[in-house]
Structure 1
Amino acid sequence: MKTNSTKRFVYITLLSAMAITINILESTLIPPLPFGIRFGLANIIALITIEILGVKEMIIVNIMRVVIGNLLRGLIFGTTFWIAFGGVALSSIVLILCKKMNSSLLFTSTLSSIGHTVGQVFVVMFIYQQASMIAIVPYLLIAAIPTGILTGIVAKEALKRVKV
């Protein structure tokens, strides 16, 4: 997308605000499924951002989502922050790789969901020194696939309606 810097800044700000809002609403209003599984609805905004603005902007939106979202909940730099950061970091790397390979949005979203899950588990294993956490990864991956498909479908539909 070719835009001037002010318009680009406004888009990044609005997308960040949407991602933060979705993240906070999901974490406070929707109870997690077993094993702490969530839908990852804020990833919809990451998918939209990388498609319409690019990699750098997606990274900014994802970092803003984690930092400001945890700051607003009073969890900044606590365990929850680092777990969220680990998930978003690996998810962002997956998004970048899929973008470079021109993967479909559904495939990208599903791999991103898996990456988010794996990133969070590795941070939990590191923080709590519990290698046995690897045992729940298959259950989390089983959940990551349909949630990744769901967020991919929503992002795809949203992108059809975005006027840039």
Structure 2
Amino acid sequence: MDKYKFERHELMYGPHFNESCATEVVSHMVNEDGTKGAHWTIEQTTAFANQYGVSLTSGKFNKYDWFVVLNMIRSDYYRFILGATNSDNPKHFVELAKAWLNDKDVEDGKTWNYFKYVVCGAHHEDEEEEEYEYYYPRKKHYEEDDYYTEREIRTRRPYRISRY
């Protein structure tokens, strides 16, 4: 998606998926179990939400966000859930998806923004230099600064690690 498609989508739907975008994104998921695409349909994920008390009308996410996240969790964490619980019961994936979506640090649109900035690699064009410096202090001057050890420079840490 290019910048204008993101903007148009957000004007129409806010920072949330719609049905066609959600099904398109999920169709490209490469799953840990060797399959590709959705493990569950929108109807199935909506039924799981109802069964396990997930509100799809809270405003933080909608049923299409839920569909994307539940399939993403199943796609990316299948082996972990199977190993940790000895079961691929949907309730385990539902609980992890609920925790991911109900992140208290993010108010609205976490799924859409994850797709936009992490999966698609879109950039914040309106981000100012001060904000960059706040989140990544001194990052621009690593190689020139004797204060950092070679290991710290290689791991790109923006702070000195205590050796004590």
TM-score, normalised on structure 2? Answer: 0.30
Q: Highest Rg: 1 or 2?
A: 2
TM-score, normalised on structure 1? Answer: 0.30
Higher RCO (C-alpha 8 Å, min separation 6): 1
